[in-house]
Amino acid sequence: MSEREMSHYREGEAHKERITYDDRWPRYFVWASVLWGIVGMLVGALIATQLAHHGANVAPYLTYGRLRPLHTNAVIFAFVGNMMFAGVYYSTQRLLKARMASELLSKIHFWGWQAIIVSAAVSLPLGFTQAKEYAELEWPIDIAVTVVWVVFAVNFFWTLARRREKHLYVALWFYIATIVTVAMLYIVNNLALPISGMRSYSIFGGVQDALTQWWYGHNAVAFFLTTPILGIMYYFLPKAAGRPVYSYRLSIIHFWALVFVYIWAGPHHLLFTALPDWAQTLGMIFSLMLWAPSWGGMLNGLLTLRGAWDKVRTDPVLKFFVAGVTFYGMATFEGPLLSIKSVSGLAHYTDWIVGHVHEGALGWNGFMAAGMFYWMIPRLYRTKLYSRAAADLHFWVGSFGILLYVVSMWVAGVTQGLMWRAITPQGALVYPSFVETLIALRPMYWTRLVGGSLYLGGMILMAWNLVMTARQGEATDGQADVIIEPEPVEENKVPWTRLVFGFPVVLTTFVIVAFAAAAVLSEVASVTVAGIAVFAAVVGVIGWRIARSGDEGPSWHRLIEGRGLIFSALTLLAVVAGGVLELIPSLVINQANARMSHRQPYTPLELEGRDVYLREGCYNCHSQMIRPLRFETIRYGEPSTIDESIFDHPFQWGSKRTGPDLAREGGRYPNLWHYRHLIDPRSTSPGSNMPSYAHLATSRVDFSDTARRVDAMRTLGIRYPEAQVTQAPAVARHEAEAIAADLAREGARVEADTQLVALVAYLQRLGRSQSTSRTSLTPEAPTAPAPAAR
Amino acid sequence: MYREFFTRSPVLALPMLAMFLFLAVFVAVVLVTWRRPAGPVARDAALPLDDAEESLS
């Protein structure tokens, strides 16, 4: 420390101390990430093959609908999760100049997380699923995730409390945001009513569930796949470049603007759906606003290399980081673009979204992980990287793989989107057969498989290189002589009230209250305007405070950067505000709709069939949401309405159409068509890539369990009279016998108590306000006449 | 043309205005921040480099 810096301190003396970091767990997390990354991508390659050729669905437990959730969960929570923990454990200790607070908690965290991954890998192919994207894990695993996350949080914040460096570096802010926000998102979205050891129903239904799910789903991208990796970028990129971050002040703006804005953007996944318009507009506008902080962060990362670009030519670590941050910029440009309603009209439900997601996952997450691993492993084993040439080869193979993957999906997405909407001058669909639009994509699906396989090859090459590096070195915990500095007197004496009730907090609170008042008193547009004014004010005030830092002593933000608890509390408030203001109106609206609806709840057999639909992961390929777009209504029927899905716990609007929308599938075809289609999809739809579900014709429904399902729905607020709960098994059996008899008349022999019959019952109900079965249950209260089914 | 556009989508005008307000504030703050000398935050920015571990890359 220079004399000039020392003069800043009036009390205490700086002294040197040797710290030994606990690097065992970062090492373990790296190896776990590499292993699960390869497994997850291997499953990805398998499901890509299944999409290109249906024959790759080799067994009932290994169909696309069951494996796709395994792939997404593996790469998100196992690959990126373990990578994130490795980076957090490694960098936190060094930034705080403190060893992790508890080795026991680190151990529980590591092994607990791996146990969760294994349980997911077993339970998802077995069909235990909540049927919500990226939130498929059933309730006992959710509880385990929550417990392990709390262990991680305690370990992190305990270390924060024991730190020897007063100032919290920007990377730590992003870690704090990750820990508090993921906890909130995960718990709220997974609130469910268990009906058995591995089965539950979401407590939210219909539009409530849709909004909650995409509030979670979008922010899982934001706070699991983005903020921790940004923290990692802010620590490891300067380390690798050997120079500080380009603009520390810009990172403050980046952090707060990103955290504030991201949480609101979830509804862009639901554009043109039955979600209220005001929520769609809010989601679209906040998504567009995300351009600013995202690109601020990207430029801050890239400009850190100012004057050191020559290193990128020779250093594989920097190659991966630069490409990773560039992919972040591309993905965060494309994301808001796709959130514009007119673009979404073309891209939603197509492979364009798949391409966008993989741009972020392979380019941003995967390359940042590779750069970090190539940087960490030599240091964790006190040696040099085994082969720079292999790392370079990994970079080029991976880059080419991403290119093939993303471009093929862009082409597939735009092609399919345009084919869906092509209309003749007479107003008819140019491509009325859905399968026709799918067949056109097949070359792109094979290209995607090649691209993904190349990327996987790069991962395997990295694994080999890292193992060889570790073998030539020796696992060693890092040590550092750090200078422990006394706290600046003026910062130490600032009372917490001055920080918590600081000008930025008070102003923000005032504007948020005004925003809430506007929402209650006024119409949609003013709510949106007020909401954005909140963020303009927040960014303005924080920016102003930052700008004046150093003029009159430490700024308000400089002070909270040294107060971990206050910083965490303010971060939580920032994300809670967005969540509460966005979710509560929809929760209220849906309840009102449920009370007014004339629709009849699902019959017991339809409920059983719906469970089969959920278990098989049909939502991965079929939506149940017809958008109010002409080409959709011509193909599928009237646009879906908000009350059509009020009995759906969970909702099944879907996000991808590898197959056609099913919202009005009921009555479109006879029972025999569904039977034949499920046994052999190619028999009714030549060219289809849907797996065969012939095994459902021999799998039985346990009707003794049906009453419990109806009772669970009743507990969730659906109007089943209590007496009808006990009748449910008999009613379900009677319904099934009617369908089996109908099939028998057409020459198809199938037992009544099979899952295939139940699934047919459910499919025949879709889009109808009440069951066509004469033995269906009647609702508790008299209802208005139902409109004619399509 | 713009009148026709906003007449057909009345709810679009105010959110668009609000978004541009946000972007304008954001850009203004970034510019003000950028122009400030880095001196007072130089030590904070250098924290990742502030350890004595050997470099191996």
Residue A36: CA count within 13 A, CB half-sphere: 29
Instruction: Calculate the average pLDDT of chain A.
Output: 89
**pLDDT greater than 70 at residue B14:** no
pTM for the whole structure? 0.89
Residue contact A479–B53, C-beta within 8 A: yes
Residue A785 pLDDT class (50, 70, 90 cuts): very low
Mutual orientation of helices A139-161 and A564-596 as an angle, nearest 10°?
160
Confidence of residue A722 (pLDDT cuts 50, 70, 90): confident
- A561 vs B53: CB contact, 8 Å cut-off? no
What is the average per-residue pLDDT within A305-320?
93
pLDDT 10s digits, A518-552: 665 555 555 666 666 666 676 677 666 666 655 56
> Chain centroid to CA A336: how far?
16
| pLDDT at residue A773 is higher than 80 | no
* Least confident piece of the model among A137-151, A424-438, A464-478, B9-23: B9-23
Measuring CA to CA, which residue among A307, A321, A192, A332 is closest to residue A254?
A332
**Is the separation of the CB atoms in A603 and A666 below 8 Å?**
no
Q: Where are the beta strands (DSSP E) in A625-725?
A: none
What ipTM was estimated for this complex? 0.73
The minimal CB distance from B36 to the residues A291, A378, A547 is found for: A547
* Contact (CB<8Å) A379/B19: no
Interface contact A73, partner B, CB < 8 A: no
Q: Which residue has the tokens 């594989």?
A: A316
Are A734 and A775 within 8 A, CB to CB? yes
Question: A183-223 pLDDT, tens per residue?
Answer: 999 999 999 999 999 999 999 999 889 999 999 999 988 99
Q: How far apart (Å, rounded) are the C-alpha atoms in residues A112 and A470?
A: 25
Average pLDDT for A702-717: 93
Quick one: closest CA in A to B22, which residue? Answer: A536
| Per-window interface: B 16-35 vs A, CB < 8 A | 16-19, 21-30, 32-34
* CA-only gyration radius of chain A, Å: 28
Confirm or reject contact between A248 and chain B (CB < 8 A). Answer: yes
Q: Which residues of A touch B17 (CB under 8 A)?
A: 529
Identify the burial level of B11 via C-beta atoms within 10 angstroms of its C-beta, where 0-12 means exposed, 13-18 middle and 19 or more buried: middle
What residue of B is the nearest CA neighbor of A547? Answer: B33
More confident residue, A49 or A562: A49
CB contact under 8 A, B22 and A292: yes
Half-sphere exposure of A781 (CA within 13 A, CB side): 10
CA triple A64-A183-A24, angle to 5 deg:
85
Report which residue type is found at A138: E
CA distances from A562 to A160, A166, A713 (A): 10, 5, 49
Dig out the tokens for A139 from the structure: 């309730």
Range with top average pLDDT, A82-86, A283-287, A778-782, B3-7: A82-86
Per-residue model confidence (pLDDT) at position A527: 62
Encode pLDDT of A678-699 as tens digits. 999 999 999 999 999 999 999 9
Phi, psi of A777 (to 5 degrees): -75, 150
The answer on pLDDT for A775 being more than 50 is: no
- What is the model's pLDDT at position A788? 33
Give the integer Cα–Cα distance in Å for A751 and A769: 27
Q: How far is A248 from chain B (nearest CA, A)?
A: 6
Instruction: Report the chain A residue with the minimal C-alpha distance to residue B17.
Output: A529
CA distances in angstroms from A617 to A263, A435, A469, A654, listed in the order given: 27, 20, 41, 10
Give per-residue pLDDT as tens, A370-404: 999 999 999 999 999 999 999 999 999 999 999 99
Please give the Cα distance from A265 to A218 (Å, whole number).
Answer: 7
Query: Are B46 and A529 within 8 A, CB to CB?
Result: no
Q: Which of residues 517 through 576 in chain A touch B, CB cutoff 8 A?
A: 524-526, 528-529, 531-533, 535-537, 539-540, 542-544, 546-547, 549-550, 558, 561
A478 touches chain B (CB under 8 A): yes
Summarize the confidence of residues A643-655 as an average pLDDT.
93
Q: Does the beta-carbon distance from B33 to A528 stay under 8 Å? A: no
Query: What's the angle, vertex CA A683, arms to CA A681 and CA A689, rounded to 5?
Result: 35
Amino acid A3: pLDDT: 37
Say whether pLDDT at A654 is over 80. yes
Could you tell me which residues come within 8 angstroms of residue A283 by beta carbon, excluding any fewer than 6 positions away?
Answer: A264, A265, A266, A267, A268, A269, A270, A271, A339
Q: Kindly report which listed range (A564-573, A703-712, A733-742, A777-786) carries the lowest average pLDDT score.
A: A777-786
Q: Is the backbone peptide bond immediately before A650 cis, with ω within 30 degrees of 0?
A: yes
Please enumerate in sequence order all residues whose Cβ is within 8 A of that of A646, keeping only pairs 6 or more positions apart, or say none. A205, A206, A207, A590, A593, A594, A597, A599
Radius of gyration for the alpha carbons in chain B, expressed in angstroms and rounded:
22
Return the higher-pLDDT residue of A408 and A779: A408
pLDDT of residue A776: 42
d(CA A582, CA A275): 12
State how far the Cα of A150 lies from the Cα of A147, in Å rounded to an integer: 5
Residues 640-659 of A with CB under 8 A from B: none
CA dist A761 and A779 (Å) reads 19
